[in-house]
């Protein structure tokens, strides 16, 4: 391990993410739509005198010393893996997250990605890398994600590295595959994320839903409805989107962990599935949810969700990608 010289500190910021369409079918190479969220996880990496790596974060209660054994905590394991890869044995790592775990905005994938980008920059003492090197870091984070969760498409890492609103068709043999950047204008008008539920642990919820899809033989039907829904998003026509979302939602309503009581309350409101609609995101439990419709039609919906503890994310979408900067001004 290299401990011979003082290293310049770096700061990495990674946006949150939300999957708009493509949950589960993306695991079978179906398309997905996702967008980066205007809330960030930041990782500061600095040199330290002690020959060890100390991690402090608002994601866990006290500082932790990495010991480079296999760590049962996936996020710490990701940091250890990145440190080993880049031959880092001493560093002070501070993680500040504005991505609450229960909201399903990608706090875990953000830590993985920030670790690989940040420790690469810290080791190389550079913040300028060509795209292929950045994607190699994201690919390594995806490899760990699959190892730790048992499955993962990596759409979250694609979205968080790239930023913006994306149509993605994965290629698991040559990951990530085909990425197309889309305009945020229509998304800002029609797609409104709310957060405040109990969260949907990816491994538990995702594993149960995948098992249910297997047992019921629903994968072909899911892929078909997902493609229909994505085409409706891309057409940017409200009536078609609401109809496509209704058909997609009907498939998932019998799935494990589906938030039935939340759906029942929303379905009783005026205009449901006519002028506006409701959609779960990601694993399909009580992560962030989407309300689809023009804002002028959502006053009653907003009030009903607020009474149940759900709040619309302000300034929801962002084009900002993950960024690596020097921690102070010693470098230009």
Sequential pLDDT tens for the chain (332 residues): 444 578 999 999 999 999 999 999 999 999 999 999 999 999 999 999 988 999 999 888 888 888 777 766 878 888 999 999 999 999 999 999 999 887 889 999 999 999 999 999 999 999 999 999 999 999 999 999 999 888 899 999 999 999 999 999 999 999 999 999 999 999 999 999 999 866 556 667 788 999 999 999 999 999 999 999 999 999 999 999 999 999 999 999 999 889 899 999 999 999 999 999 999 998 777 788 999 999 899 999 999 999 988 999 977 899 999 999 999 754 43
Phi and psi at 112, nearest 5°, equal -60, -50
In DSSP notation, 147-207 reads HHHS----HHHHHHHH-SEEEEEE-SSSSSEEEEEE-SHHHHHHEEEEE-S-B--IIIIIH
pLDDT of residue 58: 86
DSSP state of 203: I
CATH superfamily of 186-312: GHMP kinase, C-terminal domain (3.30.70.890)
Q: Where in the chain is the domain with CATH 3.30.70.890?
A: 186-312
- pTM (2 d.p.): 0.93
Taking the C-alpha atoms of residue 14 and residue 194, their distance in angstroms, rounded to an integer, is: 20
Please give the CATH architecture assigned to the domain spanning 10-183: 2-Layer Sandwich (3.30)
pLDDT of residue 236: 95
Q: Where in the chain is the domain with CATH 3.30.230.10?
A: 10-183
Please give the angle made by the CA atoms of 263, 267 and 269, to the nearest 5 degrees. 130
């Amino acid at each position: 391990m290299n401990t011979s010289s003082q290293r310049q500190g770096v700061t990495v910021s990674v946006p949150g993410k939300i999957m708009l369409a493509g949950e589960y079918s993306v695991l079978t190479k179906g398309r997905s739509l996702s967008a980066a969220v205007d809330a960030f996880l930041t990782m500061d990496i600095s040199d330290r005198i002690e020959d060890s790596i100390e991690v402090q974060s608002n994601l866990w209660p006290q500082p932790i010393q990495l010991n480079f054994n296999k760590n049962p905590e996936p996020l710490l394991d990701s940091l250890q893996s990145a440190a080993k890869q880049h031959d880092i044995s001493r560093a002070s790592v501070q993680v500040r997250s504005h991505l609450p775990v229960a909201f399903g905005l990608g706090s875990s994938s953000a830590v993985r990605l920030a670790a690989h980008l940040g420790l690469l920059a810290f080791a190389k003492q550079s913040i300028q890398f060509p795209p292929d090197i950045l994607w190699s870091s994201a690919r390594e984070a995806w490899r760990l994600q699959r190892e730790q969760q048992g499955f993962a498409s990596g759409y979250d890492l694609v979205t968080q590295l790239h930023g913006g609103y994306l149509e993605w068709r994965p290629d698991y043999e040559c990951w990530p595959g085909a990425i197309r950047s889309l305009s945020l204008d229509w998304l800002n008008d029609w797609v409104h994320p709310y957060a405040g539920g109990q969260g949907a642990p990816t491994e538990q919820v995702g594993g149960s839903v995948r098992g249910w899809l297997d047992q019921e033989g629903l994968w072909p039907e899911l892929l078909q409805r997902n493609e229909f829904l994505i085409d409706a998003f891309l057409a940017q026509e409200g009536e078609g989107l609401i109809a496509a979302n209704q058909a997609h939602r009907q498939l998932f309503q019998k799935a494990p962990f589906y938030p039935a009581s939340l759906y029942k309350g929303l379905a009783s409101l005026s205009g449901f599935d006519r002028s506006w609609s409701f959609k779960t995101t990601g694993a399909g439990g009580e992560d962030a949810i989407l309300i689809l419709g023009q804002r002028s039609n959502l006053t009653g919906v907003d009030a009903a969700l607020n009474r149940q503890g759900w709040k619309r994310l302000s300034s929801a979408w962002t084009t900002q990608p993950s960024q690596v900067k020097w921690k102070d001004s010693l470098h230009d």
